[in-house]
Amino acid sequence: MPKEKNKEKLILDAAIRLFTSKGYQATRMSDISQEVGMSKGLTYFYYKNKEDLFMALTKKAFDQFKDEFREVYLSKGKTGLEKITDLVIRVVDFASKNQILYDAIINFMDLVKKYNQEESRKEIDPLILESQHFQKLLEIHHEPAKFGVMMVSQGIKDGSIRPELQPEITFYTIWSMIIGFEKMLGPVGYDGKEVKINPESLQPGFLKLLQDMLKGTIQASKPATVQTSLF
């Protein structure tokens, strides 16, 4: 079995390299076989088709992502808020160093959105639905976020995050903000834009705003009531 797993890993690693350099659409299974030095038939023995291989890649992405979340959660001597802050930095760093894996995670979120509705489920490639890796992903894709929820819960307990927040809703809101933040790094980094902002100034500003929201220092202020008389 270890030998079989090693061959699966060789194929998967080759797919990651080629998807990164050539793009998913331009890469063929024969390209991957050639990259590994393996017959095309043997490649198909381990992965039924390119769609199945990409789902396996996505499973690998979620496994690595979960490790990132776990490491942050288990870090010693930090408050829940500090861990959430560290998590933002780690996620952005993960996306920068493993773009194809991060893109696979975001792509799977879109797939799940379609999968949840009977009508839109028909839009998903049948080869993806048939993949055993896709079915496994449906079971495990929430696992990274469970650590995020525990970070928020810890922050509520240690007083670094305001107590009235609901951990699950709070973390999934934070998660959506992180996804949006990572996506916006491209637009704000574009030289031709008119908005006076860059990635270097966006990150500390984003982190401070997130921290203030979680600590509860942002409060709406009511205009002072001024009593006046018409007479």
Evaluate whether 80 touches 156 at the Cβ level (below 8 Å): yes
Q: What is the pLDDT of residue 187?
A: 85
Q: Hey, what are 135's tokens?
A: 């079915």
Residues 213 and 139: their CA atoms lie apart, in Å, by 32
Q: What is the pLDDT of residue 231?
A: 34
- Each residue's pLDDT tens digit in the chain (231 positions)? 445 668 999 999 999 999 999 999 999 999 999 999 999 999 999 999 999 999 999 999 999 999 999 999 999 999 999 999 999 999 999 999 999 999 999 999 999 999 999 999 999 999 999 999 999 999 999 999 999 999 999 999 999 999 999 999 999 999 999 999 999 988 887 776 676 788 888 899 999 999 999 998 655 445 555 554 433
Q: What is the pLDDT of residue 5?
A: 66
Spatial CA neighbour of 16 closest among 36, 39, 45:
36
pTM: 0.86
φ, ψ dihedrals at 222, nearest 5°: -80, 140
- For 66, other C-beta atoms within 10 Å of its C-beta total 17
Residues 12 and 186: their CA atoms lie apart, in Å, by 28
Spatial CA neighbour of 181 closest among 107, 90, 69:
90
Q: What is the pLDDT of residue 220?
A: 44
Residues 15 and 125: their CA atoms lie apart, in Å, by 19
φ, ψ dihedrals at 123, nearest 5°: -80, -15
Q: What is the pLDDT of residue 3?
A: 58
Q: What is the pLDDT of residue 229?
A: 44
Residues 143 and 187: their CA atoms lie apart, in Å, by 30
Domains and CATH numbers, the chain: 1-47 (1.10.10.60), 49-215 (1.10.357.10)
Looking at residue 221, the DSSP 8-state letter turns out to be -
Cα 85 from chain centroid (whole Å): 15
Looking at residue 177, the DSSP 8-state letter turns out to be H
**Class of residue 68 by CB neighbours under 10 A (exposed 0-12, middle 13-18, buried 19+):** middle
